[in-house]
Amino acid sequence: MIVTKQAVLRRFWYAVMPVSLLDEGQQGFTLLGEKIVLWKTAEGKIACLQDRCCHRTAKLSLGFVENDNIVCGYHGWTFDTAGACVRMPQRPDEPISAKHCVKAFRAEEKYGYVWVALDDPLTGIPEIPEAALPGFRQVPEFYEPWKIGALRLMENSFDSAHVAYVHRETFGDVAQPEVGAREVEVSDFGFDSAYDSPVVVRGDTAQKAVVTADGRTVRHTHSTWYMPFARRTAIRYPHGLQHVLITCATPMDNGNTMVVQWVYRNDTEADVASADVVAFDRAVTLEDQLILESCEPDVPLSTQDGEELHMPSDRPGLIMRRMLSQLLREHGETEQRAFA
């Protein structure tokens, strides 16, 4: 599935950046191949326009924000949050026609991140229960581009069989490679999957992060997939610690994905410093990144004979492929393949 060529993907919300980045001024981003510019007004409203001036196509993200509007850095045409040109410095007394405008997109703040939907959204921003629960703190982890297709990371998040091998240096155990097919409970825009797994945590940082004395423990994991490219993985350890990972694989284009990850935990900074929480997930995530960047970015939804082969533990990923295929069909699209 070539993400930039499937129009229905524009009808979902994506986490594009931490909202704090907008305190530094306007920011450019590429979402599903669409170049956008974002900024924040004095009242805290987030504006999002196509990053292309309608005069000579310059990127508005190279301009500046003035009185809640964005000023093009080339000749100063100025656009409001709805994309209307409200000032043409060279012709101050002439009326400006409505065709002088730039396309505007929906943008909202939630969980400390900016979310954008390029077209009329089919479903809401993922609901994360821990964000509203007392006793949980939020720790930002990663905001970084990976050279992968977004669906690869989603599939990997539900792939129990990779842990023993990819994470053999951190918490996997190559002596225990056998995993069964996970049960999956499908909903309209995603699914839930729960399982228990024994883990070995190695290294000082890892032990601090899970607060176990011997480093051997069992993780009870409940994962939710939010179609198309977000997941929540709630890990519960026997002593009550909960570590809830939110990972958004925001598709920039066909081979590049912004990995946006934060966690909620029901302990305190005094129990485990945020830096130690991040350090453990950092080590784990680097292991995933190395392998995933070696995979072809395009994930085939309908695998042609022999193109990719499967095993039972691949089931969650195959359900993702099937549900995305169905989504395309329901919106009159066919799967676009063949990397350009």
Interface region with ligand FES, contact rule CB under 6 A, candidates 3-11, 40-48, 68-76, 99-107: 68-76
Q: What is the 3-state secondary structure (H, E, C) of 186-227?
A: EECCEEEEEEEEEEECCCHHHHHHHCCCCCEEEEEEEEEEEC
Please say which residue, 83 or 172, places its beta carbon nearer to Co ion: 172
**261 to 290: interface string for Co ion, x by CB under 5 A:** ---------------------------x--
**171 to 200: interface string for ligand FES, x by CB under 6 A:** ------------------------------
CA dist., res. 140 & res. 246, Å (int): 10
The yes or no reply on residue 159 touching Co ion (CB under 5 A) is no
Please say which residue, 37 or 272, places its beta carbon nearer to ligand FES: 37
- Give the number of other CB atoms < 10 A from CB of residue 66: 11
CA dist., res. 251 & res. 331, Å (int): 20
Please say which residue, 36 or 166, places its beta carbon nearer to ligand FES: 36
Residue 161 near which of ligand FES, Co ion, none (CB within 5-8 Å, type-dependent): none
Q: Considering CB under 6 A, how many residues would be counted as binding ligand FES? A: 9
Interface region with ligand FES, contact rule CB under 6 A, candidates 55-63, 120-128, 228-236, 306-314: 55-63
CA dist., res. 133 & res. 141, Å (int): 20
Q: Considering CB under 5 A, how many residues would be counted as binding Co ion? A: 1
What is the b/e burial string over 135-151, where b = at least 16 CB atoms within 10 angstroms of the residue's CB?
ebebbbbbbeebebbbb
Please say which residue, 57 or 294, places its beta carbon nearer to ligand FES: 57
Residue 74 near which of ligand FES, Co ion, none (CB within 5-8 Å, type-dependent): ligand FES
Residue 288 near which of Co ion, ligand FES, none (CB within 5-8 Å, type-dependent): Co ion
List strands edge to edge, sheet with 230-236.
137-146, 257-265, 242-251, 230-236, 216-226, 190-200, 185-187
Nearest by Cα to 186 from 329, 320, 8:
320
Q: Where are the alpha helices (DSSP H) in 34-140?
A: none
> Segment 69-108, which members bind ligand FES (CB under 6 A)?
72, 74-77
Using CB under 5 A, list all residues that contact Co ion.
Answer: 288
Binding-site ranges for ligand FES (CB under 6 A)? 53, 55-56, 58, 72, 74-77
